[in-house]
Amino acid sequence: MQTQPRETSEILRLSGHLVLGFGLVSALHASPMREDSEALATGLAHAAYYIEQATSAITVDGVMDEPAWEEATVFRLDYETWPGENIPALVATEARVTYDESTLYVGFHAFDPDPSALRAHLSDRDAAYQDDFLGISIDTFDDQRRAFEFFVNPLGVQMDLFLDGVSGNESDSWDAIWDSAGLVTDDGYVVEMAIPFNQLRFPGGGGEQTWGFDLIRYYPRGDRHRLSVHKLDRDNDCYLCQASKMTGFRGISPGRNVEIVPTLTGSQTEERADFPLGDFDNSDPTGEFGLSARWGVTPNLTLNLTINPDFSHVEADVAQLVVNERFALFFPERRPFFLEGADFFSTPLNAVFTRNVGSPDWGLKMTGKQGKNAVGVFVAEDQFTSLLFPGSQGSAATSLDASSQDAVVRYRRDLGEASTLGVLMTYRGGDDYSNSVSGVDGLYRLTDSDSVRFQWLRSNTEYPGSVIDEFGQPDGTFDDEAFTLRYRHSTRDWNLYSSYEDIGGDFRADLGFMPQVDRREFEIGGRRIWYGDEDAWHNRISLGLEWTNEEDQNGQPLERETELSFNITGPRQLFIGAWPAQRTRVFDGRSFEQEVLNAYIEMSPNGSLFFSLFAGGGDAIDFAETRPAEVLFVEPSVRYNFGRRIKASLSHNLQQLDIDEGRLFEANLTQLRLVYQFNQRTFVRSISQYRTVDRNQALFTDDVDQRTESLLTHLLFSYKVNPQTVFFLGYSDTRRGDDITGLTQSDRAIFTKFGYAWVM
């Protein structure tokens, strides 16, 4: 059973903006270099605009009073692209763009008839997406494959993202070092942005450049309005293909484009060795020096080096209930070294998952693009070797106390306007162990609305004897193949798709995340979409149907499912969805007929409050005992801003599993996050996670505790000048309990980190 609505990403994919959602577009008034009056009258073919070079210095302070701004190229965001479909914008927004030899400058004056209604809060970077905000999306190679995105809220809080135009994915885990300022005024707010060219990649040579771009404003009131510099054709599934163009930038330079970041980390961890009665082991404090460096070898080729890196997670992983689960859970990558150029390594099958490189001594990476050719390479020496053993009905994992050498090579060639063809090779090896994967993949856009993606991979693996015996893995060297083919038809009113995946039973991608193998799956589905007009109470309604058939490599059925989907988006950022499904699932030789229903609702009625509720239930399986069961999921969450500085969020996950004889277990996970933001750079935060599992011992074959519980506390003080120049001071501890022992502290730790970025 899925723990979140399947269709949410499809809804947010309207513009290719997965994180920001409902990202459509609009056209500005500047001085076009060329103009086709008939095309421009529709607003769906965009002129190119010449960007004037700054004639004086600009100070980024939220006040556009320098002469350079007066001479900058001027744009107006005249169109609303969501929820309205290319209609006149509700409010006026003026943008100005200019540059000097080292920096791109973007300024906005966002007019508002009621500035008191602005949604503006102090927050950490990449955390102000519920506010008013605006910014720019830049396709520096003008190749419709990738874009850098920079956004700022009215108080100057930064948000930067990377948009992968090939997969359609957008990630705010990418961070750049740039400057911004915001100022609330009597008629709205003003934002200034200074983006150094050494934070971007672009064609070298020093000649005139042409970049794709979009200027965007989010205006959340009753609806979440998206305003932009040009219109968007909802029958065109390629967002970056519809970007406006800006030219100029002759002679721009990234400078020496060297970034050196030394880090110093310290920690002291104490554990109760003889839990729960023993004393804490007083371990000696530890300290480590690390170094990361980035060198822009050319404007379009970047080399990254890390030595003894600090890969500690300041951000705690998303809390998940791990009860009655068959497969390993996915956690996103957060580490800067691996996030640099991560899109170069993205393919339809998740064959590269860098969190498998858990504790490297060093790493080296090169990413870049020359013309139509994109390349990515990284190598690392890992202190440990984590292994995932996938199967058709479950996965297992272990870790070898031995180092491994890891390497990935990726090459991609652009074809036509927005198609690609790529090659991927990975290697991971150590004592008596090796795994290599190689293959090809591609994206072909048949029309503006139709696309096909494919990937074929072959793996070759050899495990040490201890792993073969303990986990029942093949002896000696073994190999297998994986293949996927996906078709998508996306227009304004219809979304049709089908896919086929064939993953061999002996296929292993040890540098990737593929927890299920020995399977063949065919999926076909479609969705009809209805948009509301200006007077309608709803923005969008969709109705979908999907059929999936999955079997193992011997032709034995694993799952067959028919799912209906229905959702509505409406005022006050309302989303309601329901997903009833009927399926036949086979597990451990038994067939189970199941009916399930999932539902989800979320709303942000004002600038301070957001709430959501996911609930699901129906027929399930007790995987430990291979018997039919009934499951119930309830996951409410609420977030509230107390003024501009204090944010509180509370979430709860409840899972109940019942069998004919009674309730087998009930699991609960509650998380409370409190943040006080002093300013854009400084905050203090606490996270508390309380988890309980209550079991009916009489219904279990094996001995189990009647009750287990844990309490995790995480406190953090954070000061960030930029994403790399940081100071962290934190404390965490864990308390555990069971039938005999109440909550008792089992470990505690204090940690600190200092990092400083030299940018040259």
Task: From 349, 347, 313, 319, select the one nearest 333 (Cα to Cα).
Answer: 313
Bridge partners of residue 731, in order along the sequence:
715, 750
Instruction: Say which range, 90-99, 185-194, 357-366, 647-656, has the weakest mean pLDDT.
Output: 357-366
Share of the chain above pLDDT 90, in %: 76
User: What SS3 state is found at 347?
Assistant: coil
The total number of structural domains in the chain stands at 2
Residues 6+ apart with CB under 8 A from 548: 521, 522, 523, 559, 560, 561, 562, 563
Pair of tokens at residue 409? 């090579």
Strand order in the sheet with 93-99: 73-76, 93-99, 103-111, 188-196, 179-185
Check whether residue 355 and residue 224 sit in a common domain.
no
Distance CA 20, CA 239 (A): 14
Q: What is the pLDDT of residues 652-694, one digit of tens each?
A: 999 999 999 999 999 999 999 999 999 999 999 999 999 999 9
Check whether residue 226 and residue 262 sit in a common domain.
no
Q: How far is CA 150 from CA 40, 50, 163, 344, in A?
A: 26, 20, 11, 20
Residues 6+ apart with CB under 8 A from 535: none
Distance CA 197, CA 209 (A): 13
> What are φ and ψ of residue 221, in 5° steps?
-130, -120
What is the per-residue burial (b if ≥16 Cβ within 10 Å, else e) of 497-509? bbbebbbbbbbbb
Residues 6+ apart with CB under 8 A from 38: none
Distance CA 686, CA 718 (A): 11
Using DSSP bridges, classify how beta strands 244-248 and 48-50 pair: parallel, antiparallel or unpaired. parallel
Residue 44: per-residue pLDDT: 52
Which H, E and C letters describe 382-409, residue by residue? ECCEEEEEEECCCEEEEEECCCEEEEEE
Q: Which of 502, 517, 532 is the last residue of a domain?
A: 517
Count of beta carbons in the 10 Å neighbourhood of residue 101: 13
Q: How far is CA 607 from CA 73, 303, 603, 639, in A?
A: 33, 42, 11, 11
Question: What secondary structure letter does DSSP report for 512?
Answer: S
Check whether residue 304 and residue 339 sit in a common domain.
yes
Residue 311: per-residue pLDDT: 57
Residue 349 lies in a domain: yes
Report the amino acid identity of residue 475. D
Check whether residue 463 and residue 358 sit in a common domain.
yes
Residue 752 lies in a domain: no
Distance CA 327, CA 183 (A): 49
Checking if the pLDDT of 101 tops 60, the result is yes
Q: What is the pLDDT of residues 9-53, one digit of tens each?
A: 333 333 333 334 333 222 223 333 333 333 333 345 566 899 999
Report the amino acid identity of residue 177. I
Confidence of residue 7 (pLDDT cuts 50, 70, 90): very low
Q: What is the pLDDT of residues 256-300, one digit of tens each?
A: 889 999 999 999 999 988 888 888 887 788 888 999 999 999 888
Distance CA 95, CA 686 (A): 38
Residue 439 lies in a domain: yes
Check whether residue 237 and residue 186 sit in a common domain.
yes
Q: Which of 483, 517, 551 is the last residue of a domain?
A: 517
Task: From 506, 171, 513, 459, select the one nearest 350 (Cα to Cα).
Answer: 513
Task: From 133, 140, 184, select the one nearest 158 (Cα to Cα).
Answer: 133
> What are φ and ψ of residue 551, in 5° steps?
-145, 165
Q: What is the pLDDT of residues 516-567, one digit of tens each?
A: 999 999 999 999 999 998 778 889 999 999 999 999 999 999 999 999 999 9
Task: Write down the residue that tokens 């692209």 correspond to.
Answer: 81
Q: Within 13 A of 581's CA, how many CA atoms are on the CB side?
A: 28
Check whether residue 206 and residue 260 sit in a common domain.
no
Check whether residue 231 and residue 307 sit in a common domain.
no
Task: From 259, 320, 265, select the one nearest 288 (Cα to Cα).
Answer: 265
Check whether residue 420 and residue 497 sit in a common domain.
yes
Task: Write down the residue that tokens 């004037």 correspond to.
Answer: 52
Task: From 241, 154, 252, 242, select the one nearest 203 (Cα to Cα).
Answer: 252
Distance CA 181, CA 30 (A): 24
Angle (CA) 652-656-659 rounded to 5° is 175
Checking if the pLDDT of 117 tops 60, the result is yes
> In sequence order, what DSSP letters do the residues of 719-757 get, joined into one string?
EESSSSSEEEEEEEEEEEE-SS--SEEEEEEEEEEEE--
Distance CA 429, CA 635 (A): 41
Q: Which of 501, 517, 533 is the last residue of a domain?
A: 517
Mean pLDDT of 223-245: 94
Are the C-beta atoms of residues 60 and 107 closer than 8 Å to each other? Answer: no
Count of beta carbons in the 10 Å neighbourhood of residue 684: 14
State the CATH number of the domain containing residue 117. 2.60.40.1190
Confidence of residue 1 (pLDDT cuts 50, 70, 90): very low
Taking the model in full, what pTM does it have?
A: 0.88
Task: From 190, 189, 187, 200, select the one nearest 160 (Cα to Cα).
Answer: 200
Residue 331: per-residue pLDDT: 78
Q: What is the pLDDT of residues 704-713, one digit of tens each?
A: 999 999 999 9
Task: From 342, 348, 375, select the one nearest 443 (Cα to Cα).
Answer: 348
Check whether residue 476 and residue 504 sit in a common domain.
yes
> In sequence order, what DSSP letters do the residues of 236-249 get, joined into one string?
---SGGG-EEEEE-
Count of beta carbons in the 10 Å neighbourhood of residue 191: 27
Q: Within 13 A of 734's CA, how many CA atoms are on the CB side?
A: 13
Checking if the pLDDT of 217 tops 60, the result is yes
Residue 312: per-residue pLDDT: 55
Q: How far is CA 712 from CA 54, 671, 747, in A?
A: 53, 9, 10
Mean pLDDT of 709-733: 95
Using DSSP bridges, classify how beta strands 609-622 and 590-603 pair: parallel, antiparallel or unpaired. antiparallel
Distance, first Cα to last Cα, the chain: 51
Instruction: Say which range, 174-183, 333-342, 349-358, 449-458, has the weakest mean pLDDT.
Output: 333-342
Task: From 612, 562, 584, select the one nearest 130 (Cα to Cα).
Answer: 612
Check whether residue 513 and residue 386 sit in a common domain.
yes
Q: Where are the beta strands (DSSP E) in 252-341?
A: 258-272, 280-282, 286-298, 301-307
Residue 641: per-residue pLDDT: 96
Distance CA 727, CA 264 (A): 10
Residue 233 lies in a domain: yes
Check whether residue 153 and residue 210 sit in a common domain.
yes
Residue 620 lies in a domain: no
Residue 59 lies in a domain: yes
Residue 664 lies in a domain: no
Are the C-beta atoms of residues 324 and 657 closer than 8 Å to each other? Answer: yes
Share of the chain above pLDDT 70, in %: 92
Residue 424 lies in a domain: yes
Report the amino acid identity of residue 494. W
Q: Within 13 A of 659's CA, how many CA atoms are on the CB side?
A: 16
**Mean per-residue pLDDT of the chain:** 90
Check whether residue 178 and residue 30 sit in a common domain.
yes
Domain that holds residue 217: 8-248
